[in-house]
Amino acid sequence: MAFRAPFRSMATAARHTLKIGLIPADGIGHEVIPAARSAIEALGSDVPKLQFVDLLAGFELFARSGTALPEETVEALRECDCALFGAVSSPSRKVSGYSSPIVALRKKLDLYANIRPVLAVAPTPEERPSVDLVVVRENTECLYVKEETIIPTENGREARAIRLITERASRRIGKMAFEIALQRPRKQVTIIHKANVLSVTDGLFRESVRSVPRLAEDGRYDSVKVEEQIVDSAVYRLFREPQIYDVMVAPNLYGDILSDAAAALVGSLGLVPSINAGDSFVMGEPVHGSAPDIAGKGIANPLAAIRSAALMLKYLGYTTGASRIDKAVDEVIRDGRVLTPDLGGKSKTQEVTEEVLKRI
């Protein structure tokens, strides 16, 4: 996917040292983040001198220390140029004192956009992929503000959650989506919402994103086609006819669900990268979770983490190195001989990583 930072300077690319925070966090994060690091190191002169900073966060850390996101980690990231985050465990039951460190990091560093390209690898480099879309997910609000209460009533307990949608956040995620669309051949943005039911919250999101072209100077987005889709219909059409989508922009919860669903179209969550991006920082993060059922077995798919590293480098302006990583991953997938079990193979994480490094 062609992508560069819409709003930040490319001055980072001229620095002599690229300082990268590494947060494996939980589960297979400890296996795939080292693979992503190795891919960056393999680029040689296509990136500056590298400095990696090992940092702590996650549910496993919380279980040991009572803290899921140490302030030291946040402060260290403020001194980095970028970061890679592995995976975080999210208990389905309430755990007193615990909240997701990745959600907290997105807020603390104002990483308001989660950008998830979903791209099928075509049989040959010359052929058009069957799926080529980007989900642009608002990253800081919606139900993920986590303002929940539970109260007793005469009919039993009642749970409520506050959903926050603001004009500011909706407009800036819309701007990010339009900027990404400008860089793609089809130049199309589809606004995902449920304004037919949630007319106030989703209505504000829809109106705010639609206002972006009107408020832009000099008709910057005049070439971008704007579509809309109700979220439940969008999921249906995503599986039936994914080729109709180019850039999908959505509130936090819808974007989370849509991007995970879209991963099924390309074979595995283990192939889908993402970045959490703001105006001054970017953090790569594979879409898959911590996968506790396979953690420590050496069979986790490292390709999503490696692709996330490439996407992060593109954001920072290191497009040559990023393209080398993406090309190597594509070749490994097309070859088909060295793949992890989620893709029908029998190879180990380290074997797949070594095959990618060889091709880089």
Question: Which of 185, 206, 200, 77 lies closest to 134 in space, CA to CA?
Answer: 185
- φ/ψ (deg, to 5) at 242: -60, -20
Instruction: Please report whether residue 38 resides in a domain.
Output: yes
Residue 14 above 60 pLDDT? no
Instruction: Please report whether residue 270 resides in a domain.
Output: no
pLDDT at res. 8: 44
pLDDT at res. 3: 46
What's the whole-number mean pLDDT along residues 247-251?
A: 98
Instruction: Please report whether residue 241 resides in a domain.
Output: yes
- Structural domain including 317 reads 1-109+276-359
β-bridge pairing 17-25 and 188-193: unpaired
The predicted model scores a pTM of 0.91
Quick one: 290 and 259 in the same domain? no
- Quick one: CA torsion of 204, 205, 209, 214, rounded to 10 degrees? 0
List the catalytic residues: 144, 194, 232, 256, 260
CATH classification of the domain holding 46: 3.40.718.10
Quick one: 260 and 148 in the same domain? yes
Instruction: Please report whether residue 236 resides in a domain.
Output: yes
Residue 5 above 80 pLDDT? no
Residue 274 above 80 pLDDT? yes
Quick one: 138 and 211 in the same domain? yes
Q: What is the 3-state secondary structure of the chain?
A: CCCCCCCCCHHHHHCCEEEEEEEEECCCHHHHHHHHHHHHHCCHHHCCEEEEEECCCCHHHHHHHCCCCCHHHHHHHHCCCEEEEEECCCCCCCCCCCCCHHHHHHHHCCCCEEEEEEECCCCCCCCCCCCEEEEEEECCCEEEEEEEEEEEECCEEEEEEEEECCHHHHHHHHHHHHHHHHCCCCCEEEEEECCCCCCCHHHHHHHHHHHHHHHCHHHCCCCCEEEEEEHHHHHHHHHHCHHHCCEEEECHHHHHHHHHHHHHHHCCHHHCCCEEECCCCEEECCCCCCCCCCCCCCCCCCHHHHHHHHHHHHHHCCHHHHHHHHHHHHHHHHHCCCCCHHHCCCCCHHHHHHHHHHHC
Residue 240 above 90 pLDDT? yes
Kindly report the number of other CB atoms within 10 A of residue 42's CB atom.
Answer: 19
pLDDT at res. 2: 42
Tokens of 179: 């900027």
Quick one: 259 and 284 in the same domain? no
Quick one: 242 and 160 in the same domain? yes
pLDDT at res. 217: 82
Residue 15 above 80 pLDDT? no
What's the whole-number mean pLDDT along residues 34-39?
A: 98
